[in-house]
Structure 1
Amino acid sequence: MTAQKTRVIVIGGGYAGVLAANHLRLNENVDVTLINPRPKFVERIRLHQLVTGTDDAVVDYSEILGAGIQLIVDSVARIDAPRRSIELASGGELTYDYLIYAIGSHGAAPVVPGAAEFAYPISELEHAQQLKAAFQAAGTDAPMTVIGAGPTGLEVAAEFAEEGRRVTLVCGGVLGPYLHARGRRSAAKRLNRLGVTIIDGPGSTATEVRPDCVILADGRTIASTVTVWTAGFGVPDVAARSGLSTDAAGRLLTDETLTSVDDPRIVAAGDASAPSNLPLRMSCQAAIPLGAQAANTVLSRIAGTEPKPLNQAFTGQCISLGRDGGLVQLAHLDDTVMPLHIGGRAAATIKEAVCKGTVSFLQREARKPGSYFWLKGGKRQQKVAAASQPVRP
Structure 2
Amino acid sequence: MKVVVVGAGYAGTLAANRIAKKVKTAEITVINPRPDFVERVRLHQQVVGTAAVATPLASMLRDGIAALVGTVDKIGDGSVVLDDGASVGFDYAFLAVGSTVRPMPGTVPVGTWEGAERARAALAALPAGSTVTVIGGGSTGVETAAEVAEARPDLQVRIIGSSVGRDFSHRAFRRVRSGLERLRVSVVDDGVTEVTDGAVHLRSGAEFASDLALWAIVSGVPDLAARSGLEVDAEGRALVDPYLRSVGDERIFAVGDCAAVPGARFACALATPQAAHAANTLARLSEGRTPEPYSLRYVARAVTLGRRDAVGQFTRTDDSLRRAYFTGRTAAVVKELASRGGQYGARTGTGA
TM-score category, normalised to shorter length: over 0.9
How much has 1:347 moved relative to structure 2? Answer: 1.3
What one-letter code is carried by the residue in structure 2 that aligns with 1:336? Answer: S
- Equivalent position to 1:9, from 4, 14, 34: 4
Residues 95-118 of structure 1: CA distance to partner in whole angstroms, max 9, x if unpaired? Answer: 1001111111111x24xxxx22x1
Please state if 1:19 is matched with 2:19. Answer: no
How much has 1:22 moved relative to structure 2? Answer: 0.8
How much has 1:76 moved relative to structure 2? Answer: 0.6
CA distance in 2, matches of 1:92, 1:272: 23
In structure 2, the residue matched to 1:86 is: 80
In structure 2, the residue matched to 1:152 is: 140
CA distance in 2, matches of 1:88, 1:232: 25
- Equivalent position to 1:167, from 145, 153, 157: 157
What one-letter code is carried by the residue in structure 2 that aligns with 1:233? Answer: S
TM-score by length of 2: 0.96
In structure 1, the residue matched to 2:98 is: 104
CA distance in 2, matches of 1:184, 1:69: 44
TM-score by length of 1: 0.86
Residues 292-331 of structure 1: CA distance to partner in whole angstroms, max 9, x if unpaired? Answer: 1111222223223221100242211121111121111211
What one-letter code is carried by the residue in structure 2 that aligns with 1:287? Answer: A
CA distance in 2, matches of 1:331, 1:53: 32
2:226 aligned counterpart, secondary structure: helix
In structure 2, the residue matched to 1:357 is: 341
How much has 1:279 moved relative to structure 2? Answer: 4.7
1:206-225 matches, within 5 Å, as 206-225=192-211
How much has 1:60 moved relative to structure 2? Answer: 2.1
Please state if 1:130 is matched with 2:124. Answer: no
Cα distance, 1:292–1:124 mapped onto 2, change above 3 Å:
same
- Consecutive unaligned residues of structure 2, counting only runs of 5 or more, are none
In structure 2, the residue matched to 1:384 is: none
Partners of 1:20 and 1:291 within 8 A in 2? yes
CA distance in 1, matches of 2:263, 2:63: 32
What one-letter code is carried by the residue in structure 1 that aligns with 2:97? Answer: I
CA distance in 2, matches of 1:364, 1:214: 44
Could you say which structure has the larger radius of gyration?
1
- Consecutive unaligned residues of structure 1, counting only runs of 5 or more, are 1-5, 366-371, 375-393
1:167 aligned counterpart, secondary structure: strand
What one-letter code is carried by the residue in structure 1 that aligns with 2:302? Answer: C
How much has 1:287 moved relative to structure 2? Answer: 0.5
Partners of 2:99 and 2:218 within 8 A in 1? no
CA distance in 2, matches of 1:63, 1:334: 35
1:1-393 matches, within 5 Å, as 6-25=1-20, 26-79=22-75, 81-82=76-77, 84-107=78-101, 109-110=102-103, 115-116=104-105, 118-162=106-150, 163-164=152-153, 165-172=155-162, 174-200=163-189, 204-275=190-261, 278-365=262-349, 372-374=350-352
1:175 aligned counterpart, secondary structure: coil
How much has 1:211 moved relative to structure 2? Answer: 1.4
2:52 aligned counterpart, secondary structure: coil
CA distance in 2, matches of 1:263, 1:233: 26
How much has 1:178 moved relative to structure 2? Answer: 2.0
Residues 104-145 of structure 1: CA distance to partner in whole angstroms, max 9, x if unpaired? Answer: 1111x24xxxx22x1011111110000011101111210111
CA distance in 2, matches of 1:141, 1:197: 14
> After TM superposition, what 4+ stretches of structure 1 lie above 4 angstroms from structure 2?
none
